[in-house]
Amino acid sequence: MSDGVNAAKQAAGIASCDFVTSGMRVGLGTGSTVRYTVLELGRRMAEEGLEIEGVPTSEATAALARELGIPLLEWHQVSELHVTIDGADEFDPGFNLIKGGGGALTREKIVAQASAAMVVVTDPSKQVTKLGSFPLPVEVLQFGWEVTARHLGLLCPGEVSRRGGDEPYLTDNGGYILDCHFGATIVDPAGLETDVRGIAGVVEAGLFTGMADAIVIGSSAGVELLLKPGGRLGR
């Protein structure tokens, strides 16, 4: 990854921390861009006295947060998070997302649904007019995954493949990821999300609809903030 791309990711990750203030319970996302968010939150706690508590979306994020001294909450300790900051593999003009390239989509959605707002950190390459060029990740049970894949194939015009092939990738939940190659054909993300989740064996779909309130885009030109009209973070 080039220094320019890393710098853009870092700028977006740091800028997203502007949505966090002391006393907040924060969902901590997974991925290369939001990693910079977690690092910045740790720095602000150590150097500026920021006081927050976090809920991680993956074991990798949990390990990083502990290393930085960010207190982590168990679910029995919290009913709602103030904000979740996470990445995305694609986003469209309606603030719909495809997530799950890092394999943490189920935990990411649980955390996002428990949050009063969601901030997405990303870069210009993830902005699309129509979702689907990035293969849609779907977490499924190991049991009968072949049958689940066949049912997904009835919805998906392209290949449905198990991530990792003969040495399958395992999520933190012990599930498989099926990558569904729709191409840029997803005109009704919410409808497709419902259809995919209705298939027996599907744990969660990597479509996040109606969740994102702000998108922070880092690029060589600087940082751009998009706020969803009528969203929960409207200013």
140 burial type by CB count under 10 A (0-12 exposed, 13-18 middle, 19+ buried) = buried
Task: Mark residue 86 as left, alpha or beta (left: phi above 0; alpha: psi -120 to 50; beta: remaining).
Answer: beta
CB distance 199 to 151 below 8 Å: yes
Tell me the catalytic residues.
108
| 41 token code pair | 């939150």
- Name the nearest CA neighbour of 104 among 162, 164, 59: 59
For residue 82, how many other CB atoms are within 10 A of its CB? Answer: 18
Cβ(176)–Cβ(145) under 8 Å?
A: yes
**Angle (CA) 61 63 65, round 5°:** 70
Residue 19 tokens read as: 């949505």
Q: Long-range contact list for 163-172, CB < 8 A, 24+ apart?
A: 163/103, 163/137, 169/103, 171/103, 171/104, 171/106, 171/139, 172/58, 172/59, 172/103, 172/104, 172/107
The CA distance from 175 to 142, in Å, is: 6
Query: Coil, strand, or helix at residue 145?
Result: helix
